[in-house]
Amino acid sequence: MPDLTIESPNSISYIASWLEFYITVKKEDISKAELQRLIQDASGSEPTNEFLDDVWQELEFRQHWYGDEPPFLVQNREINYNIEWETFPEYLVCLILNLDGAAEQSSKTGKLFERLSCEAIKNYIGGDAIIYGFPQKQTVNEIADIINEKFNFSPTANFKDRGVDIIAWRSFGDGRKSKIVGLFQCAAGFHWKKKLLEVPLNAWRSYISWGDSIPMKGFTTPVVIEDEFFFECILTGGLMLDRPRLYRNIKAIGSVNQALRDELLTWCQGKVSHLLN
């Protein structure tokens, strides 16, 4: 569980995410002067004004990416928290995973992130989505039936899920083939970049006959992908949903699956209680 100690005081991206976490959990605004003191306490040296300005600029970018209802507001000398995490635990889950990874109970934590991602993807495409292996393991034949495409053959057992966590599609509602289809990988841990190439589209095009519905690949991660790295990510990972895009699309739903939200809230409460007590 991340604490309120600054572990990477020289990283603009890390400090920006740490600030998001700090003001959300503490429910307090923070000034440049206060941040300067906290960084100095953590590193032993005072950060330059240019560094602090870069952090503020990064947060301004993020505020725009989060959309019309951002979780924080950037002022000239202060960052104001703008969300009660208890009413929107999805955001805090992503912050904690960004700073702490998914090492603790990684399988359960990873599945929670997949379910969160599934909600965002469904909203984005305006269609349907299923998690491969949840709530029970489906065969490729069953998946083909669910999305109404022709099954060819299954991967051998040693290939497991073949890099896919979520299958999403948008049909026309007429029962016929030809539709938008996406195959998504979800990466909740620190080493998310290594998973960008894990969806083998050629293999999945062999398992199922998609007709002209050539599936696209996509990727979800709880981090904020830095602007200069974003293009390289989409070249390898496909349709990219990082934290701001997950936030925007879940926020747009208005009401997500209540059972999932309750589980996410309980997960966050445990983390925050451990942190603040």
Domain ranges of the chain: 12-83, 103-254
CATH class, range 12-83 = mainly alpha
Q: How crowded is the C-beta side of 17, counted as CA atoms within 13 Å?
A: 27
* DSSP of the chain: ---SS-S-TT-HHHHHHHHHHHHHHHT--EEHHHHHHHHHHHHSSPPPHHHHHHHHHHHHHHHHHH-SS-SEEE-SSEEEE---GGG-HHHHHHHHHHHHTT-TTHHHHHHHHHHHHHHHHHHHHTSEEEETTBSSPPPHHHHHHHHT-EE--PPPGGGTTTT-SEEEEE--SSS-S--EEEEEEE--STTGGGGTT---HHHHHHHEE-TT-PPEEEEE-SSPPPHHHHHHHHHHH-EEE-HHHHHHHHHHHSS--HHHHHHHHHHHHHHHHHHH-
Cβ–Cβ under 8 Å, residues 188 and 102: yes
**Please, which residues have CB within 8 angstroms of residue 7's CB and are 6 or more apart in sequence?**
14, 42
State residue 183's pLDDT score.
Answer: 96
pLDDT of residue 84: 95
pTM: 0.93
Phi–psi pair at 186, nearest 5 degrees? -115, 135
Q: Which residues contact 88 (CB under 8 A, 6 or more apart)?
A: 71, 250, 251
Full pLDDT tens readout for the chain, 277 residues = 455 789 999 999 999 999 999 999 999 999 999 999 999 999 999 999 999 999 999 999 999 999 999 999 999 999 999 999 999 999 999 999 999 886 555 778 899 999 999 999 999 999 999 999 888 889 999 999 999 999 999 887 766 667 899 999 999 988 888 899 999 999 998 889 888 887 888 899 899 998 777 899 999 999 999 888 899 999 999 999 999 999 999 999 876 788 999 999 999 998 887 766 5
With a CB cutoff of 8 Å and minimum separation 6, the contacts of 64 are 70
Amino acid 213: pLDDT = 72
Please tell me the class of the 103-254 domain.
alpha beta
